[in-house]
Structure 1
Amino acid sequence: MRRLHANLLLLLAALIWGVTFSIQQMAMEHIGPVLFTGIRFVLGALVVLPFALKEQHTRHADGAAALERSVLPWVVMTGSALFLGALLQQFGIAATTVANAGFLTALYVPLTPILAFFVLRQTPHPAIWPAAAACLGGAYLMSGGVLDDISDGDAWVIAGALFWATHILLVGYVSKRTQMPLTVACIQFIVCGILGLLWGGMTETLTVDGLWASAPMVVFTGVVSVGVGFTLQVVAQRHTPAPDASVILSAETVFAALAGAVILGEHLGALEISGGALILCGVLAVELLPLSLAKVKAQRAKRL
């Protein structure tokens, strides 16, 4: 797969998650966030399971090695990071303003290349830094251009952003090491789903009426957002570096705002539109700047 195709898959995943955000908000009227997370990720795992089993069968038929036991703990950590990112973000949203939560969640964009550099000793492409700054600035504008006083809820959101960045790094690592994206996706969904069901079962109450009312939203988010969206992320990150992926996935904010305007009737002002345009500039920079710099270097090499 070419890198351009991988980046387009990441952009499609961001589109799916952006649309799903509005549907998640509607589901919260009927079911607790932790149980909702657990149920939809278990459903997502069931969707991907047949394809993961087929992937295993194909590898076995080709004489390739199955998933190494040494890799399994990394896949479990990937699912745990996914769960903690979603859980901490949800805790934070309940205790802070929407504007603060929207901006602080976007901190995973600059955090991803920073963690890649200090933890994995990976030096991101120079284009990442201006692109990440553009995405962070765009998220600030889309949150209304106002950041209230930092609260305990903000601390939860920041911690969640750290785990989102960790998840992106782990996905890139395990998908490249195993070359089994569907298997990796399925296992991380199972881990996230089980953690959500266990935690939600202890802290939230689920009624038959609530489950029935939220069923269409649970099915849609489980099949489309989890089963398709997160699987696309795992597949694409075999070919796209984690810092680049974080910038492209930040387009989720733009798609979420557009979906909110269409589905929920939310208003988009000039500030929000400007922020969305800035984020899209950052996404384009990740794809186009490396190509431009490569052409410049090639031209210089020919002259010499």
Structure 2
Amino acid sequence: MVILAALCWGLSGGIGGILMADGWDALVVSFYRGAIGLLFVLVWLALRPRGSGLSNPRLWFWSAIAGLGVAGNFAFYFVSIAEGSVAVAATLMYCAPVFVFLVSFALRLERPTLFKWIAIVMVMIGVVLLTRILETGAGGVTPLGVAAGLLSGLSYALFIFGFKYAAPHGTPQAILVIAFAALVTILIWTGDAGQAVAVLGAPTWPLFVILGVLGAGLSFIFYIVGLNHTAPAVASIVAMVEPVTASLFGVVVLGESLAALQILGMGLILITVTALSVHSRVG
């Protein structure tokens, strides 16, 4: 289930890249991904309404925070793809656990250790190699693309914290309903309303549906159900399927390319973040 979720997320990055190459705005693409996801989790909640916790104000508060995080994650991720490439955007987003650790250090929820600091430095080196920040005139990835990719990871970290603090007060499906409703509301106000309406009559509307089904509808359900039957350390490892799938989609389908140092940087990030997640959850 977790592998399927990660595979769906990886493919959704490539599909988003195709839609934005056709001229669709990143926020509009994010809106449809979230709106279709909302329909799926509403059905899930209707089928399993018991113990939802929807009468608990704390559930609403933390779920709304999670919704803000997932809205930022979707939007910044697609902006990063538009300004760079699917491979770079997906790998930068995979840095989310690093942001979780840094916030946890600041809030004293996690104890800093030498291993964790070394891992964070290794990820930063990987980001420098992947984005080619130090290369003068290096094309392909703009500063906005790099910033958006990192912000997508930071937003995902916010979603993780929101979901974690909402979990004791209600069911996963109730949390996701509130989170996706918050996401849709945010993107309605910030996106291009004219483009959003135009999607309904566009020949590419089936791609929007596939994006929503894979990128939010089925994937989040797969992931939540999968986590109930999978050790967290194992889930951390198989989550690497997402950036790898997205990168392969970008190279094979979208014709993107990566230099040798960028591939080295990508490998450094994927291996280090996975090791960091496993070390934390096992320890």
> TM-score, normalising length from structure 1?
0.70
Distance 1:290 1:40, change over 3 A: closer
Find the partner of 1:167 among 159, 183, 189: 159
The answer as to 2:188 corresponding to 1:197 is: yes
Pick which of 46-55 and 259-268 moved more: 259-268
In the TM superposition, what are the counterparts of 1:75-90 in structure 2 within 5 Å? 75-90=63-78
The residue identity in structure 1 corresponding to 2:214 is: V
Give the 5 Å matches for 1:1-304. Answer: 9=2, 12-28=4-20, 29-57=22-50, 59=51, 68-90=56-78, 105=93, 107-119=95-107, 121-123=109-111, 128-144=116-132, 146=134, 158-175=150-167, 177-178=168-169, 180-202=171-193, 204-206=194-196, 208=198, 211-234=201-224, 249=239, 252-282=242-272, 284-286=274-276, 289=279
Q: SS at the partner of 2:195?
A: coil
Cα 1:200/1:209, change in 2 over 3 Å? closer
How far off its partner does 1:151 sit?
5.2
Closer, same or farther: CA 174–122 of 1 in aligned 2, 3 Å: farther
For residue 24 of structure 1, report the CA deviation from its aligned partner. Answer: 0.3
Separation in structure 1 between the aligned mates of residue 260 and residue 175 of structure 2, nearest angstrom = 41
* Amino acid corresponding to residue 159 of structure 2 in structure 1: H
Look up the SS of the partner of 1:122 in the other structure: coil
Identity %: 24
CA distance in 2, matches of 1:124, 1:228: 36
Residues 201-252 of structure 1: CA distance to partner in whole angstroms, max 9, x if unpaired?
Answer: 45x53464775322122111111110122344555678888x9988875663
Does the Cα contact within 8 Å between 2:94 and 2:270 map onto a contact in 1?
no
Q: Could you list the runs of 5+ residues in structure 2 that have no partner in the other structure?
A: none
Mean alpha-carbon deviation: is it higher for 155-164 or for 41-50? Answer: 155-164
Bigger mean CA offset, 84-93 vs 226-235 = 84-93
Cα gap change, 1:157 to 1:56, in 2 (>3 Å) = same
Contact 1:116 1:169 in 2 (8 A): no
Aligned residue type for 1:257: S
Residues 166-175 or 207-216, more deviating: 207-216
SS of the residue corresponding to residue 58 of structure 2 reads coil
Greater Cα radius of gyration, structure 1 or 2: 1
Tell me the amino acid that sits aligned with residue 184 of structure 2: G
Q: Residue type matched to 2:5 in 1?
A: A
Residues 92, 153 of structure 1: 8 Å contact kept: yes
Whole-angstrom CA distance in 2 between matches of 1:80 and 1:186: 13
Q: Is the contact between residue 39 and residue 218 of structure 1 (CA under 8 Å) also seen in structure 2?
A: yes
Change (3 A) 1:210 1:120: farther
Cα RMSD, aligned residues only? 4.1
Whether the 8 Å CA contact 2:90–2:247 is kept in 1: the answer is no
1:259–1:163: structure 2 CA closer, same or farther, 3 Å change rule? same
Residue type matched to 1:263 in 2?
V
Give the CA deviation at 1:282. Answer: 2.6
The alpha carbon displacement at 1:19 in A equals 1.9
Q: Does the CA-based 8 Å contact 1:135-1:250 persist in structure 2?
A: no
Tell whether the 8 Å contact from 1:40 to 1:221 is kept in structure 2 after alignment.
Answer: yes
Q: 1:5: which partner in 2?
A: none
| CA 1:200–1:254: 2 relative to 1, 3 Å | same
Would the alpha carbon gap of residues 83 and 16 (structure 1) be closer, same or farther in structure 2, given more than 3 Å must change? same
Deviation at 1:46, TM superposition (A): 0.8
CA distance in 1, matches of 2:145, 2:164: 29
Amino acid at match of 2:248: L
| Contact 2:91–2:269, Cα closer than 8 Å, also in 1 | no
